[in-house]
Structure 1
Amino acid sequence: MPAPASSVLPRPKVLLFDVNETLLDLSKLKRAVPKAFGNKHAFKQWFGLLLQYSLVDTVMGAYHPFGQIAEAALDMTADMLEEKRLPPAKKQELVGLLKQLPAHKDVPRGLEMLLDAGFRLVAFTNSPRATLDEQLRYAGIIHYFEQGLSIDTEQLYKPHRYAYQAALQALDIGPDEALLIAAHGWDVAGAHHAGLRSGFLARPGQTLYPLAPLPTYQGKDLPTLARQIIAGR
């Protein structure tokens, strides 16, 4: 829930935005992955494995780029669903769709509202920096952002605490000067653990982690969330 109406929160200097699913619509992948396997459960299985094994790398102290984990997760998806593994070219085609995703329809308006209110906007992703730039250009929203940050600099995936701290260091700000906006409960939880405030964008099918603190703000779309952040309550 938003902060009580009687309280006004300090204004953050920078808004950090998660990218996949928060800003970008994954519907294209949600159609393509099940079609490739001939199995309606394939996307959820694959995307869950992609997130899980990026964290496995981080916990082990290893690192592979997000796209490489995505391809490996397609093989794991095939094995777990007892389907035939996809040929390398098909895996590359599917993972390549991560660079060809449109923005959610509410995103441009929400970003405009926040820019007009004087906030600095920064994209912050688990994808490599080159992928991030391609994604934002394809979606037509790169011009809203002051810069993009990727975890590939430190090679620690969100929600590792230091991934957020490294972003703050790159921006030369403290945790109390930043607010993370994400559609994933694990990202919101990670930001809070690192001392940042957060805004949860409640995309369909997404939920908060019940054992983590509540986000500072919540909204069903970005303009709704933007109005709360601008008001500071």
Structure 2
Amino acid sequence: MQKPKLLIFDVNETLLDLSSMKESINKALDHEFAFSQWFAFMLQYSLVDTVTSNYHDFGTIGKAAMQMTQEKLSRSIPDSKVQELLSMIKSLPPHPDVKPGLEKLKDAGYRMITLTNSTHEVVTQQMKSAGLTGYFDELMSIESTRKYKPHPDTYQYALQKAGVKPGEAMLIAAHGWDITGALQAGLQAAFINREGQVLYPLATRPQFNEKMLTPITEKLTAL
């Protein structure tokens, strides 16, 4: 495989640990699958916006998805509680393997950016809160394209802005749909197999498939 010139990181679940948010949403709605349903709705309707040439920012879709989740589960919580729960996404901790992995990649000279479905304002707050800002050359969002991952244009936007060809970049993500999108766009990909995450069986396999970032880091620094 070709050594990538650019590493593109997804943010939510890939770098940041959503377990505290999951626990809080499940507790507030008194349902063990409330968070999973909310997150699925959020991803589903971000894609609905994209394929219907519409756009709402990810936070707005997240709020609508919470309303849908309450309706689906026959639950009801105050708007103030909804806002409290959704605001948690701005101050999530990094997974334990993230800082050691990023440190080693930075020391090895890798150029690294983020590419997230969240707005630029939110990813900036997230990275500052998690203490990860200094590892990245740029914090990118799909906001400029108004098309959500895994639309090909989102990856092309990042490549063009970074000045690299598709095969010279690698997406690192914990979502099978994101990995699929990147591979279809011609990028290399590394899947972090976080708990509950799986690859799409009908898609091309990524170059790396590991349970944490650190083994991927070791392989990349050996290239």
TM-score, normalization by structure 2: 0.98
Deviates more, 1:75-84 or 1:223-232: 223-232
Residue 29 in structure 1 maps to residue 42 in structure 2: no
Partner of residue 203, structure 2 = 212
Partner of residue 54, structure 2 = 62
1:108 to 83, 90, 99: 99
Q: In 2, distance between residues paired with 1:229 and 1:71?
A: 38
The secondary structure found in structure 2 opposite 1:16 is strand
CA contact (8 A) 1:98 1:135 kept: yes
Q: In 1, distance between residues paired with 2:190 and 2:198?
A: 13
1:173 to 146, 160, 164: 164
1:221 to 208, 212, 215: 212
Cα distance, 1:39 vs structure 2: 1.5
Cα distance, 1:154 vs structure 2: 0.8
2:109 to 99, 118, 123: 118
Q: In 2, distance between residues paired with 1:51 and 1:187?
A: 11
Partner of residue 75, structure 2 = 83
Deviates more, 1:33-42 or 1:145-154: 33-42
Q: In 2, distance between residues paired with 1:106 and 1:90?
A: 31
Residue 15 in structure 1 maps to residue 7 in structure 2: yes
Q: Partner letter of residue 51 of structure 1?
A: L
Partner of residue 137, structure 1 = 128
Q: In 2, distance between residues paired with 1:229 and 1:192?
A: 18
Residue 193 in structure 1 maps to residue 184 in structure 2: yes
Q: In 2, distance between residues paired with 1:202 and 1:227?
A: 16
1:72 to 30, 44, 64: 64
1:161 to 127, 149, 152: 152
The secondary structure found in structure 1 opposite 2:109 is coil
CA contact (8 A) 1:199 1:217 kept: yes
Cα distance, 1:230 vs structure 2: 2.1
CA contact (8 A) 1:217 1:229 kept: no
Cα distance, 1:186 vs structure 2: 0.3
TM-score, normalization by structure 1: 0.94
Cα distance, 1:88 vs structure 2: 2.1
Cα distance, 1:83 vs structure 2: 1.5
| Structure 1 spans left out of the alignment, 5+ residues | 1-8
The secondary structure found in structure 2 opposite 1:200 is strand
- Regions of 4+ moved over 6 Å: none
CA deviations 1:126-178 (Å, max 9, x no partner) are 00001001000101111111111000001000000111001111111110111
Q: Partner letter of residue 58 of structure 1?
A: T
Cα RMSD of the aligned pairs, angstroms, is: 0.9
CA deviations 1:12-67 (Å, max 9, x no partner) are 11100000000000011111101111122211111111111111110111000101
